[in-house]
């Protein structure tokens, strides 16, 4: 048995497939049977040969006896004839003699091709024919009455015949000896052959049965047993039990078994993970039977509700529900059972400690399991958060609703989603009227662009985004009635969970514009109303001071000078105020041309020369061949202002220097004084309106406190910068930077126009 | 040089006339409104007219337009007097044929020379 097992093991090591094994099961007995039939056929043929041999032997013996008897009969008939001369003997003799050659031929044919027997038959034939010859001679002698011869022959013949008979007998004996031996031995041989045949047939059949059984056993062992294992594994898998060890081999069954094992591992892993998920879930996962009792629950019930798993299992589900929610909960559970599917509901669960928590249930009723499977998610925090969000939303909405700025919320393509009451008020539309429409409809541009054309709305929206995103820009708004009015718009992006949105902040600036217009008118009027009388005052004072109306006493001259100086100061103030107003409105008219810097320097020097001389300050201006792109009058205004300041704040007998330099396409002009300098804290304030280092400066040094603010405005309108480097007590360097020569050819025209313009304005 | 000043403000006319006459060495005639100004211009045929922009009834622009229609005075150069000094205004006034625009208040001592210079420049340009 052990050797059998080892054979099976070896066969199994051959890694035969089931189809190979099946082939072996059929082919091995088949081959054996074929060999068996071949051998059996050989044996049967041998036996038949044996029988044929025996029959021939019998025939040879019988024929030999017949021949021997014929010769004897012929001799007897001749003897009878010689005595009786009876025709009966004669006839008998002739018949026998005639018969002998036929008998010899017969014997010869029976002997067949056996050479030794053929020789014997030849001898027999010769002897027999000698004998017949002798008998015939004797008969002839008898017939011719030659008694002597006949006697002699008879005597002799007897002797001859005796010899012939002996020889014949000897030969026949020789011939039949073998046959007799064969005949004698034949039954034995046949009996042995039969025995062999029988043994062989039985042996073959038994062997065949044994082989077939062995193969069947082998097949059963290698296939059926393993299939049984496989079947068992499938039951085990279904019942989540551990599987049998892997079956050996490398055939389909072993592959199937290996797949089974992989599947089982995956299932085990999945189950383990599922279990881990359930055990570690934050939510309570439970099943409830038809009686409404908990059948199973995960450990989260302790964290959520304060009950352990043991405490919960067996407890009625409804006992956990807050009394005020029981009715609704029962309805929900009935609905779940009725529809046999998923359903969600919310209720309050009373914890073990008596507190309540809001829970969102997701439940599923299984008719098969007769149980309800639930996941209970604690949404107290979410509820709180939702309420907070609601409160926050309501707060924001309230703020939005009470804002004085109109807010229009649009999507990323400019379609209106909502607006606050102020926006409704500004445009005269209600939110419902505008929902889904393009923000274009609130702009006067809608007269030129069509809201219905996507290309138009896109272009408008793109322009609006480019111009007004995160910066205030003025537009013309359009009310529902079709009235145009000025608005200020600022676009700000808002990232919401629904994607990008934009807040279009809208301020109706109609009133402000009106105020501005009035203010402008007021300023113009006031300036006119002030300037005209001031012209008269100044003219009068000048006429007096220059003596055009006659010489004045010294005291009068002094008073007139004071009046003249203050008139100039007043004029300066009015001019400054007008300039600053215009600068702020961006409407200080400037004509930019390429101008030689030296001209600007010269004009500025001339303008302050008298003033400097009066204060005994020397001015040193370095020559410059640079060209600037600027409004020369305005730059002169700036430079005069800076020089005036430098002179004002220089100690008597001091000096002021002006340098110019070019850097990166900009010309820097520096005015350097050795005055008291500017305190660090003042450097930034200095360029703002009405700022002076000392409050008393305006009285002591003159000036309105607007000069540097105007300078800053002018320089910035040139695209330049202005600033001061100063160390207190050591002097200051006021500088400004403006663009160097502009090379754009189109400006040549402007230069000519500007030259004409500037000539006229002087 | 004969100058006609057309301005509704009497004080202004008086002082400007004094400045131009006494300091600028010019002969000055005055008119207190546009229509009077046109008549005076016809009568006096001044070398240059100083025309105030803001006047009641006929303002400076209308006065200029009327002058331009009057062949006897249409070639007399006109210099506007204004308090605003807005660039757009300058351009508009020059388009109407004004020679220049002077902003109030001007320097009483140099006003005569300034007017002479403007006239000189315009002559050079014309030539």
| Beta carbons of B99 and A527 less than 8 Å apart | no
What are φ and ψ of residue A670, in 5° steps? -115, 130
Q: Which two tokens stand for residue A256?
A: 């199937």
A538 and B CB contact within 8 Å = yes
Residues above pLDDT 90, as percent of chain A: 16
Label residue A750 by pLDDT band (50, 70, 90).
very low
B105 and A CB contact within 8 Å = yes
- Cβ pair B52, B72 in contact under 8 A: no
Q: Collapse the DSSP code of B83 into the 3-class scheme (helix H, G, I; strand E, B; otherwise coil) and give the result.
A: coil
Place of tokens 């009066």: A614
Strand A356-366 and strand A342-350: pairing?
A: antiparallel
Q: 10 Å Cβ neighbour count for A370?
A: 10
Q: Among the residues of chain B, which ranges form H helices?
A: 10-18, 34-44, 60-69, 87-95, 111-126
Nearest in space to A711 (alpha carbons), one of A671, A753, A761: A671
pTM above 0.95, yes or no: no
β-pair partners for A732: A673, A726
Closest residue of A to B121, CA-based? A759
Span B7-36, average pLDDT: 91
Which pLDDT score is estimated for A762?
31
What are φ and ψ of residue A533, in 5° steps? -65, -35
Which pLDDT score is estimated for A700?
53
B104 and A CB contact within 8 Å = yes
CATH number of A281-384: 3.30.450.20
How far is residue B116 from each of residues A93, B19, B97, measured CA to CA in Å?
206, 14, 18
CATH top-level class for B2-126?
A: alpha beta
Label residue B76 by pLDDT band (50, 70, 90).
very high
Q: Which two tokens stand for residue A550?
A: 């006659």
Closest partner CB to B90 (pick from A540, A587, A757): A757
| Beta carbons of A542 and B100 less than 8 Å apart | no
The C-alpha atoms of residue B43 and residue A85 are separated, in whole angstroms, by 226
Q: Which two tokens stand for residue A630?
A: 């600027």
Sequence-distant (≥ 6) Cβ neighbours of residue A184 within 8 angstroms = none
Chain A and chain B share a number of CB contacts under 8 A equal to 84
Q: Which residue has the higher pLDDT, A54 or A347?
A: A347
What are φ and ψ of residue A472, in 5° steps? -80, 135
The string of DSSP codes covering B45-65 is --SEEEEES--SSS-HHHHHH
Closest residue of A to B106, CA-based? A535
CA atoms within 13 A on the CB side of A469: 12
CATH number of A403-508: 3.30.450.20
Sequence-distant (≥ 6) Cβ neighbours of residue B2 within 8 angstroms = B26, B27, B28, B29, B44, B45, B46, B47, B48
The C-alpha atoms of residue B50 and residue B34 are separated, in whole angstroms, by 11
Q: 10 Å Cβ neighbour count for A715?
A: 23
Residue A492 distance to chain B (closest CA, Å): 36
Report whether CATH 3.30.565.10 matches the domain A589-761.
yes
Label residue B48 by pLDDT band (50, 70, 90).
very high
Which pLDDT score is estimated for A396?
85
Q: At residue B39, does pLDDT exceed 90? A: yes
Nearest in space to A549 (alpha carbons), one of B41, B14, B104, B97: B14
Which pLDDT score is estimated for B43?
94
Q: State chain A's mean pLDDT as an integer.
A: 83
Q: At residue A115, does pLDDT exceed 80? A: no
Instruction: Give per-residue pLDDT as tens, A227-282.
Output: 888 888 888 887 778 888 887 777 788 888 888 888 888 888 888 888 888 888 88
SS (H, E, C) A26-48: HHHHHHHHHHHHHHHHHHHHHHH
Nearest in space to A610 (alpha carbons), one of B107, B75, B97, B47: B107
Nearest in space to A487 (alpha carbons), one of A411, A422, A435, A431: A422
Q: Which residue has the higher pLDDT, A762 or A126?
A: A126
Q: At residue A485, does pLDDT exceed 80? A: yes
The C-alpha atoms of residue A432 and residue A12 are separated, in whole angstroms, by 84
What are φ and ψ of residue B30, in 5° steps? -125, 155
Instruction: Give per-residue pLDDT as tens, A720-742.
Output: 999 999 888 888 999 999 988 87
Sequence-distant (≥ 6) Cβ neighbours of residue A499 within 8 angstroms = A411, A412
Instruction: Give per-residue pLDDT as tens, A311-346.
Output: 999 999 888 899 998 998 888 888 888 876 678 888
Place of tokens 């403006």: A738
DSSP secondary structure code for residue A524 in this structure: H
Which pLDDT score is estimated for A33?
85
The string of DSSP codes covering A614-633 is HTT-EEEE-----EEEE-HH
- Cβ pair A97, A74 in contact under 8 A: yes
The C-alpha atoms of residue A638 and residue A571 are separated, in whole angstroms, by 17
Label residue A745 by pLDDT band (50, 70, 90).
very low
Which pLDDT score is estimated for A746?
41
Residues above pLDDT 70, as percent of chain A: 89
Place of tokens 């038959």: A121
Contacts of B121 in chain A (CB under 8 A): 759
Which pLDDT score is estimated for A672?
93
What is the predicted ipTM? 0.83
Q: At residue A671, does pLDDT exceed 90? A: yes
Q: At residue B30, does pLDDT exceed 90? A: yes
SS (H, E, C) A740-757: ECCCCCCHHHHHHHHHHH
Label residue B31 by pLDDT band (50, 70, 90).
very high
Q: Which two tokens stand for residue B43?
A: 């009568």
Nearest in space to A574 (alpha carbons), one of A530, A622, A610, A627: A530
ω into residue B105 within 30 of 0, thus cis?
yes
Instruction: Give per-residue pLDDT as tens, A592-617.
Output: 888 899 999 999 998 888 888 888 88
| Beta carbons of A542 and B109 less than 8 Å apart | yes
| Beta carbons of B108 and A589 less than 8 Å apart | no
Closest partner CB to A532 (pick from B9, B87, B107): B9
DSSP secondary structure code for residue A393 in this structure: H
Instruction: Give per-residue pLDDT as tens, A430-448.
Output: 989 989 999 999 999 888 8
β-pair partners for A411: A501
Q: How many residues does chain B have?
A: 127
Q: Among the residues of A554-706, which ranges form H helices?
A: 554-584, 597-614, 632-649, 697-700
Closest residue of A to B17, CA-based? A539
Label residue A130 by pLDDT band (50, 70, 90).
confident
DSSP secondary structure code for residue A438 in this structure: B
Closest residue of A to B102, CA-based? A761
The C-alpha atoms of residue A755 and residue B114 are separated, in whole angstroms, by 17
The C-alpha atoms of residue A501 and residue A167 are separated, in whole angstroms, by 146
B77 and A CB contact within 8 Å = no
Which pLDDT score is estimated for A423?
92
Contacts of A762 in chain B (CB under 8 A): 100, 114
| Beta carbons of A535 and B106 less than 8 Å apart | yes
The C-alpha atoms of residue A305 and residue A311 are separated, in whole angstroms, by 11
Label residue A698 by pLDDT band (50, 70, 90).
low
Q: Which two tokens stand for residue A321?
A: 């529900």
Fold match, A403-508 / A589-761: no
Sequence-distant (≥ 6) Cβ neighbours of residue A673 within 8 angstroms = A645, A646, A647, A649, A650, A654, A656, A731, A732, A733
Place of tokens 């409404």: A292
End-to-end CA distance of chain B: 20
The C-alpha atoms of residue A202 and residue A161 are separated, in whole angstroms, by 59
Min mean pLDDT across A351-365, A578-592, A725-739 is at A578-592
Domain ranges (residues) in chain A: 21-212, 281-384, 403-508, 589-761
Among A234-248, A260-274, A285-299, B89-103, which range has the highest average pLDDT? A285-299
- Cβ pair A318, A362 in contact under 8 A: no
CA atoms within 13 A on the CB side of A717: 25
Q: 10 Å Cβ neighbour count for A123?
A: 17
A535 and B CB contact within 8 Å = yes
Q: Which CATH architecture has domain A21-212?
A: Up-down Bundle (1.20)
- Cβ pair A283, A378 in contact under 8 A: yes
Instruction: Give per-residue pLDDT as tens, A180-205.
Output: 776 677 777 778 878 888 888 888 88
Label residue A756 by pLDDT band (50, 70, 90).
very low
Quickly count helices (H) and strands (E) in chain A: 21, 17
């Amino acid at each position: 048995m052990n050797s059998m097992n080892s054979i099976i093991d070896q066969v199994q090591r051959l890694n035969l497939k089931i189809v190979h094994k099946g082939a072996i099961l059929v082919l091995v007995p088949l081959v054996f049977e074929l060999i068996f039939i071949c051998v059996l056929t050989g044996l049967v043929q041998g036996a038949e040969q044996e029988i044929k041999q025996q029959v021939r032997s019998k025939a040879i013996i019988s024929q030999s006896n017949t021949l021997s008897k014929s010769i004897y009969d012929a001799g007897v008939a001749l003897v009878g004839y010689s005595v009786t001369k009876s025709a009966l003997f004669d006839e008998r003799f002739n018949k026998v003699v005639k018969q002998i050659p036929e008998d010899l031929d017969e014997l010869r044919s029976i002997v067949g091709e056996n050479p030794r027997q053929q020789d014997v038959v030849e001898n027999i034939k010769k002897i027999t024919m000698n004998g017949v010859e002798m008998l015939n001679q004797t008969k002839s002698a008898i017939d011719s009455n030659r008694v002597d011869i006949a006697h002699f022959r008879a005597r002799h013949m007897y002797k001859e015949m005796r010899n012939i008979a002996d020889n014949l007998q000897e030969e026949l004996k020789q011939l039949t000896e073998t046959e007799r031996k064969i005949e004698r031995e034949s039954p034995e041989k046949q009996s042995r052959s039969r025995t062999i045949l029988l043994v062989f047939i039985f042996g073959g059949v038994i062997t065949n049965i044994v082989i077939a059984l062995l193969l069947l056993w082998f097949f059963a062992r290698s296939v059926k047993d393993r299939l049984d294992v496989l079947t068992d594994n499938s039951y085990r898998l279904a019942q989540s039990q551990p599987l049998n060890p892997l079956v050996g081999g490398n055939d389909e069954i072993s592959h199937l078994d290996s797949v089974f094992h992989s599947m089982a591992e995956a299932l085990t892993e999945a189950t383990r993970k599922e279990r881990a998920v359930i055990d570690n879930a934050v939510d309570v996962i439970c099943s409830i039977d038809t009686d409404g009792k908990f059948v199973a629950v995960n450990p989260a019930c302790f964290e959520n509700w304060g009950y352990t798993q043991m405490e919960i299992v067996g407890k009625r589900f409804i006992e956990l529900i807050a009394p005020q929610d029981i009715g609704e909960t029962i309805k929900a559970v009935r609905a779940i059972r009725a529809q046999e599917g998923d359903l969600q509901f919310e209720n309050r669960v009373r914890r073990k400690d008596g507190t309540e928590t809001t829970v969102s249930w997701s439940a599923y009723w299984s008719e098969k399991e007769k149980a309800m499977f639930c996941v209970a998610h604690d949404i107290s925090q979410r509820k709180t958060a939702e309420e907070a969000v609601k409160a926050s939303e309501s707060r924001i909405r309230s703020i939005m609703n009470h804002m004085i700025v109109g807010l229009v919320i649009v999507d990323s393509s400019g379609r209106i989603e909502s607006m606050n009451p102020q926006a409704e008020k500004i445009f005269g539309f209600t939110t419902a009227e505008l929902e889904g429409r393009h923000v274009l409809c609130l702009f006067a541009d809608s007269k030129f662009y069509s809201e219905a054309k996507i290309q138009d709305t896109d272009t408008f929206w793109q322009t609006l985004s480019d111009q007004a995103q995160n910066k205030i820009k003025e537009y013309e708004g359009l009310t529902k009635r079709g009235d145009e009015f000025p608005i200020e718009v600022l676009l700000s992006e808002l990232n919401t969970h629904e994607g990008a949105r934009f807040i279009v902040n809208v301020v109706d600036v109609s009133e402000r514009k009106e105020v501005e217009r009035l203010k402008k008118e007021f300023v113009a009027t006031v300036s006119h109303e002030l300037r005209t009388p001031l012209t008269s005052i100044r003219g009068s004072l000048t006429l007096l001071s220059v003596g055009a109306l006659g010489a004045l006493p010294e005291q009068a001259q002094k008073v007139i000078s004071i009046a003249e100086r203050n008139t100039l100061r007043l004029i300066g103030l009015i001019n400054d105020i007008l300039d600053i107003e215009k600068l702020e409105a961006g409407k200080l008219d400037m004509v930019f041309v390429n101008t030689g810097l030296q001209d600007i320097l010269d004009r500025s020097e001339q303008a302050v020369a008298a003033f400097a001389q009066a204060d005994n300050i020397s001015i040193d201006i370095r020559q410059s061949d640079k060209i600037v792109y600027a409004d020369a009058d305005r730059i002169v205004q700036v430079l005069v202002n800076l020089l005036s300041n430098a002179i004002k704040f220089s100690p008597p007998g001091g000096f002021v220097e002006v340098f110019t330099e070019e850097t990166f396409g900009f010309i820097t002009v520096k005015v350097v004084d050795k005055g008291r300098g500017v305190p660090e804290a003042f450097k930034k304030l200095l360029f703002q309106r009405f700022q002076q280092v000392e409050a008393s400066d305006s009285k002591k040094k003159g000036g309105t406190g607007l000069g540097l603010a105007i300078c800053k405005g002018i320089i910035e309108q040139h695209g330049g910068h202005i600033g001061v480097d100063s160390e207190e007590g050591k002097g200051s360097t006021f500088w400004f930077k403006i663009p160097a020569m502009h090379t754009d050819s189109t400006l040549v025209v402007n230069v000519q126009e500007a030259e004409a313009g500037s000539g006229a304005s002087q | 040089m004969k100058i006609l000043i057309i301005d509704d403000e009497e004080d202004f006319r008086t002082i400007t006339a004094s400045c131009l006459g006494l300091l600028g060495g010019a002969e000055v005639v005055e008119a207190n409104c546009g229509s009077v100004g046109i008549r005076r211009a016809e009568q006096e045929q001044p070398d240059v007219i100083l025309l105030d922009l803001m006047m009641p009834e006929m303002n400076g622009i209308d006065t200029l337009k009327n002058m331009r229609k009057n062949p006897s005075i249409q070639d007399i150069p006109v210099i506007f007097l204004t308090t605003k000094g807005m660039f757009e205004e300058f351009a508009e006034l020059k388009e109407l044929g004004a020679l220049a625009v002077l902003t109030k208040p001007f320097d009483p001592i140099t006003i005569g020379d300034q007017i002479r210079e403007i006239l000189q420049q315009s002559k050079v340009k014309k030539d």
